[in-house]
A and B are shown apart, each in its own frame.
Chain A
């Protein structure tokens, strides 16, 4: 009789990760996860573990890794405070549909529910902000739970999964049998395309005189960039992108008409309320895109392509819903639409583009005098990387400016916290992005506020020599809040000015090269110095203190109510 050798739960867990193809883990050890970390010590040939300086950093790094690589990001942390520190990244990944598997240690099974040391109800806390949260209490559940976790995280509309791993199950011995998960009967990740829905949508597009497409992250998540291009080109349909849809179309693609929403471009926002058929592709009509729903695209027939049935009709009720993956629905739609020109309609965007250039872009990106602006720094960095870099942002003015003025030539080139808007996302997400795309240049823009929320990750960058290019757009203010105070709170600058440390000196303490720029004529040389090799670098640029992000649609206002700041 054949007897299988038994191994510990911790080793079974490591073997499960190897079977899932995990090669990178971002983590932080501690009491309740020590058996797994001990097993990890034997897997250094298979798995590269990056020790971050805080569990939040581990989650954002895993997000950055997942977003650029398309793979599942993996975090390994202990119980209690480690798990609660990971919550921000888990919530961020939920709102931005990022595939993550976060493993938290947990107290031994007999201690569960007794308020044991570093015990917290991780499954209870994370259920509302995960696709799936599961507690492994027995070693025999490990292989099943890991297989299911990766399947759920990466399939369909991706998202975070939490595995809460009791310490006793890490130590228990178990026979190891691994089978990948390919099917869960209560979960259909990719709905079957319904031809009636395709026909109805195609019929609307074929009668359209002024069609307009809105491109969301669904296109990137489905790897449907080519299918999108074929669809738009056949119908000559102008298109704009949401924040997370950035880089699904190259910046120089002729039908790419720019960035949607609150700080987006004038033309696509105005055209939303002028088009006759609005085609939303893998986007969720977020309030930062739509503004006031009562006045949003009321003149248009609306087509909504999405993989998630709960998104269809959530904010905007479509005339033609199309359920399915963009990878399937776009080609089906392309086959049924007629070739069209729409030359006059497409040309009509130019008037708004000129208006925006004259009123906003000229002074933001090409200023000839006065203090440096955020826009010009971002523009120069983008050009210096030949528009090929991965852009990572923090949150706030730096994020909106970077999204507006960075240029994209490759897909999966923007990593940003869109839904949750997490300050402090920038540094760790950039580390993860560089690990996920080591051959690419990764440029991270942050404000002086957000940089200090996860500044300790400079230690991780030092230890691992992660070649991220960090740029602080320093205005000595929490700039976006300050902008709102100026515009909507009678210039009452309540707790938004910051006395900042010498950031370059801090970087130097972490053995990271850097320089600080005060004058415009120093900028080009500093950028060239930053990009001359593949080492980590911090560039601090002192920009105008009271810079504003325009255009701006005030929160909850009609999408055509665009302030240009003139």
Chain B
């Protein structure tokens, strides 16, 4: 079966130790987490994990069921890139003198829609948002031309395209049906 990149979205209660419970499930099957981001969701007290892994659909479906089964997990599901609107952010630190020597800063900034976050006599910090390939391409260009002093890329954040049941509605339904 074909391995590809899947994005797993997990909604959970905001309790201590949940990240460990989730990562253990990947560790058991020797799956590397490619990216991970955690943040509060739109619903108060509910946290959202966005995890990307390379796997077959057979494996990702089983892993997601095992995550969903944990007591404090509200909902877990998975998508491929086609089903998502997603974004990553990257920061690049480069030497100011080398950048000035290059003489083509304007073209670089226009082509890559770079934001400059900080600039001083020693270094400049660029910010670029985009998909992995896009942030990687800027990294490659900078590496070849001026060198990159530091680089960091965030985990993926994603929103689904499908008209899935909203989590808040799901929670209301559960409360209505079982919470009496």
* Residues 301-333 of A at the B interface (beta carbon under 8 Å): 308-310, 313-314
Closest to B12 in A: A186
Give the segment of A76-84, A120-128, A217-225, A422-430 that binds chain B. A120-128
Contact indicator B17/A186 (Cβ below 8 Å): no
- C-alpha gap A290/B33 in the complex (Å): 31
Closest to B177 in A: A192
Contact indicator B61/A185 (Cβ below 8 Å): no
Known: A310-B66, A314-B62. A188 touches B28 (CB 8 A): no
Let me know if A41 is at the binding interface, CB within 8 A: no
Task: Report the minimum CB–CB distance from A311 to chain B (whole Å).
Answer: 9
For residue B71, which residues in chain A have a CB less than 8 angstroms away from its CB?
131-132, 152, 184, 186-187
Let me know if A183 is at the binding interface, CB within 8 A: yes
- C-alpha gap A128/B69 in the complex (Å): 12
- C-alpha gap A188/B177 in the complex (Å): 10
Contact indicator A310/B74 (Cβ below 8 Å): no
Indicate the size class of the contact surface on chain A: 20 to 34
For residue B111, which residues in chain A have a CB less than 8 angstroms away from its CB?
none
Let me know if B174 is at the binding interface, CB within 8 A: yes
For residue B177, which residues in chain A have a CB less than 8 angstroms away from its CB?
192
Contact indicator B73/A128 (Cβ below 8 Å): no
Interface residue from A135, A183, A186 paired with B73 (Cβ < 8 Å): A186
- C-alpha gap A184/B178 in the complex (Å): 9
Let me know if B103 is at the binding interface, CB within 8 A: no
- C-alpha gap A131/B72 in the complex (Å): 10
- C-alpha gap A314/B179 in the complex (Å): 30
How many chain B residues touch the partner (CB < 8 A)?
24
Let me know if B88 is at the binding interface, CB within 8 A: no
Contact indicator A313/B62 (Cβ below 8 Å): yes
Contact indicator B175/A185 (Cβ below 8 Å): yes
Known: A185-B74, A186-B12, A186-B73. A124 touches B20 (CB 8 A): yes
Task: Report the minimum CB–CB distance from A389 to chain B (whole Å).
Answer: 36
Main secondary structure of the interface of B (DSSP, over half): helix
Task: Report the minimum CB–CB distance from A385 to chain B (whole Å).
Answer: 39
Closest to B27 in A: A128
- C-alpha gap A128/B25 in the complex (Å): 8
Let me know if B127 is at the binding interface, CB within 8 A: no
Closest to A137 in B: B16
- C-alpha gap A146/B143 in the complex (Å): 57
* Residues 271-316 of A at the B interface (beta carbon under 8 Å): 308-310, 313-314
Let me know if B87 is at the binding interface, CB within 8 A: no
Task: Report the minimum CB–CB distance from B8 to chain A (whole Å).
Answer: 15
For residue A132, which residues in chain B have a CB less than 8 angstroms away from its CB?
71
Task: Report the minimum CB–CB distance from A356 to chain B (whole Å).
Answer: 36
Contact indicator B20/A313 (Cβ below 8 Å): no
Contact indicator A183/B69 (Cβ below 8 Å): no
Interface residue from A128, A152, A186, A308 paired with B74 (Cβ < 8 Å): A186
Q: Sample 26 A-B pairs with CB under 8 A, ordered by A number.
A: A123-B17, A124-B17, A124-B20, A127-B17, A128-B21, A131-B71, A132-B71, A133-B17, A135-B16, A152-B71, A183-B179, A184-B71, A185-B171, A185-B175, A185-B179, A186-B13, A186-B71, A308-B69, A309-B68, A309-B69, A310-B65, A310-B66, A310-B68, A310-B69, A313-B61, A314-B65
Beyond known contacts A128-B24, A128-B28: 18 more, CB 8 A cutoff: A124-B17, A124-B20, A127-B17, A128-B21, A133-B17, A183-B178, A185-B171, A185-B174, A186-B12, A186-B13, A186-B73, A187-B72, A188-B174, A188-B178, A309-B69, A310-B66, A314-B62, A314-B65
